[in-house]
Amino acid sequence: MPDENPPSTSNTPEAAAPATPVAPVATKPEGAAPSAAAAAPKPASAVPAAGVPATPKPEAVAAAAAPAAVPGPEVPPKIKIKRPPQRACDERDAKNKLCCGHLKRWYDYPKEIEALIGVKAEVYRCEFCKTLYKPDRSVAPHSYTLRY
């Protein structure tokens, strides 16, 4: 009977590499009872002895040794004046790249921001860099302008 899988003649590294034996993977049908091998106890070398603490992983040791982040003094947000047709943020980062985040109207800003900008001011905030924009005084505010 001819071989169903003839040997490959390609020049790929896989064909040149010696074949490594692969253990067959046993699959069990759904609803089958667990096998005796799965229920067998682990060898004594895999289980730590009583009273001997297990050695922690290096990642856990490094995370525990790192100092906790201490919150520094609060930096007030950057406040700019919004030009009349402006809809996107024009703030530049350290690499001189534009943010271009959408300026969204911010209605429920905290008391600290109200103290910086003013009471019941029309405040816009960039969705990415959180830069605040207050309206230009030479333009009528958008609040309550379309009353019927």
Q: What is the pLDDT of residues 52-79, one digit of tens each?
A: 666 666 665 555 555 555 666 677 889 9
Band (1; pLDDT cuts 50, 70, 90)? low
pTM of the model: 0.48
Pairing relationship of beta strands 79-82 and 132-135 according to DSSP bridges = parallel
